[in-house]
Amino acid sequence: MILSMLSQFNTQIAIFLRGCHQLLIHVKWGACALVALYLSLLSGLVIGLQYDYATPYYSASSLDILIPYGHYFRSLHFYTSQFFFFFTCIHLVAVLPQTASYKDIEWYKLIATLPVIILLLFTGYILRWDSTGASAGRIAESIIATIPLAGGLLDSILLSLDSSGLRKVYIQHVVGLDLILLVLLWQHLRIYRIKIINHLPICGAMLLFSVAFYAPMDPEKLGTTYISGPWFFLGLQELLRYLHPFVAGVLVPSLLVMLLLSIKPAYLQHRRCIRILFISMLAYAGLSIIALLR
């Protein structure tokens, strides 16, 4: 009886994995990522024209009230940015076997886009300057300050929230990081182009998703002792409870990036690195769930 149930379970798992594989190879995830990027840029332009970094929380929250369809454009920008990262990750998994022929420099540039996208998402959270954004900015400053020798210089260039407010974060979000992302993706974008008209279903799905779900805005609440950070930093936030900020906030993310750089199929140890990366991602997901449930 038990053996029969296990056999059926294994069969169902095999069917599920085959379905996932078919989904990976038949859906054009790269095109989905580009559609999300274009929608994010266009909605970001609308928001950027109304945003004032001198009064960040008032400026971000007033979009929902004072600007026609402001809440929709804020939601569209927020969710399409998340979708861009999500589709980019799936695209990397789907095309990984094809990257064996890539030159090392091109491979490194493509992998480097992932942390840059995360930094774009992160600076977007900070620019809201609600309870989540403000605490995320303060934590980021504290982590940067632990970097030996260069910590103070990096903080003065990237954040310096006390002396510059959100001016530098705003510049990084709308100019600096965007230019870096463009440089990293330029060769890729020059070869692979899309027409939005050929991808209307995914475009329409993201437009409708932003109607159904408002982008979060977390006002400060008196008596709150714990604030969850952005979803992609929840695991890091939990690690900060157990490890030194430099280890949790700098070394661990750096090791994950190094693992990503090592999974190119042409490398001898890429299978082992993929297994280690997969286990690391499971552990990070577990830490994120713990942080979310606090």
Domain definitions of the chain by residue range: 7-219, 229-294
DSSP 82-147: HHHHHHHHHHHHHHGGGGGGS-HHHHHHHHHHHHHHHHHHHHHHHHH-SHHHHHHHHHHHHHHHTS
Give the predicted TM-score (pTM) of the model.
0.89
Quickly tell me which residue has 């970097």 as its tokens.
147
CA distances from 22 to 15, 25, 28, 202 (A): 11, 5, 12, 18
Residue 163 confidence class, pLDDT cut points 50, 70, 90: confident
Extract the tokens encoding 232.
């992609």
Q: What is the mean predicted confidence (pLDDT) over 247-276?
A: 88
**Residue 18 binned pLDDT confidence (cut-offs 50, 70, 90):** low
Work out the pLDDT band at 161, boundaries 50, 70, 90.
confident
Per-residue model confidence (pLDDT) at position 40:
95
- Residue range 187-199: average pLDDT? 82
Backbone angles phi and psi of 82, in degrees to 5 = -65, -40
Q: What is the pLDDT of residue 196?
A: 82
Measured CA to CA, the distance from residue 4 to residue 10 in angstroms comes to 10
Q: What is the DSSP secondary structure assignment for residue 194, as one 8-state letter?
A: -
Three-state secondary structure call for residue 217? coil
Asked if residue 135 lies in contact with residue 125, where contact means CB atoms within 8 angstroms, the answer is no
- The pLDDT, as a whole number, for residue 11 is 60
- pLDDT for 12 equals 60
Q: Which fold has domain 7-219?
A: Cytochrome Bc1 Complex; Chain C (1.20.810)
Rg (CA), the chain: 21
More reliable by pLDDT, 55 or 4: 55
